[in-house]
Amino acid sequence: MQVTLSWTRELISAAILCKGKLLKGVTEVINKIGLDRLTNEDERYLAEICKVLGLAFQNQSRMVCRPDKFDLLLSQHLISEEELKQAIARATERKSDIGTVLVNDLRAPKTALAKFYEAYYRVPFVSFGDKITQMRKVCIE
């Protein structure tokens, strides 16, 4: 850590976002050189620099951005943007999860949804539907 003998008169900051959503960092500008004050133009320049940095991070192969939750389903054309909007609205209205709405209402393939969950959460998908039904039968008997 470096200690300076200057006082912070002004500070502006901007987020560095990947894909416009995922926060990768924050950039700060402290004290303009001389006695000049930071301006709205300085804020716009900083915002533009952060956009460029976000794109750079996104394009770096070693700094892979995590995909949006439903990018896999959209990119494989298993659902459309409109269907996703409908599923989100219905799930919110019913206080249900979006996956259930996609499978039951919009007939999204269950296997595709399973692959989506595996890719997004980076864990193997395990369906408990049949196992839970079998466990209920054992408990009842």
Within the chain, what is the greatest distance between any pair of CA atoms? 83
Q: What is the pTM of this model?
A: 0.42
- Dihedral class, residue 31 (left if φ above 0, else alpha if ψ from -120 to 50, else beta): left
* SS3 per-residue string spanning 15-59: EEEECCCEEEEEEEEECCCCCCCCCHHHHHHHHHHHHHHHHHHHH
User: Which tokens belong to 89?
Assistant: 């609205």
- Residue-level pLDDT, tens digit, the chain, 141 residues: 566 677 788 999 999 988 777 788 899 988 888 778 888 999 999 999 999 998 888 777 454 555 567 777 787 788 888 888 888 889 889 988 888 888 888 888 888 888 888 887 888 887 776 555 555 555 555
Residue with tokens 């539907």: 129
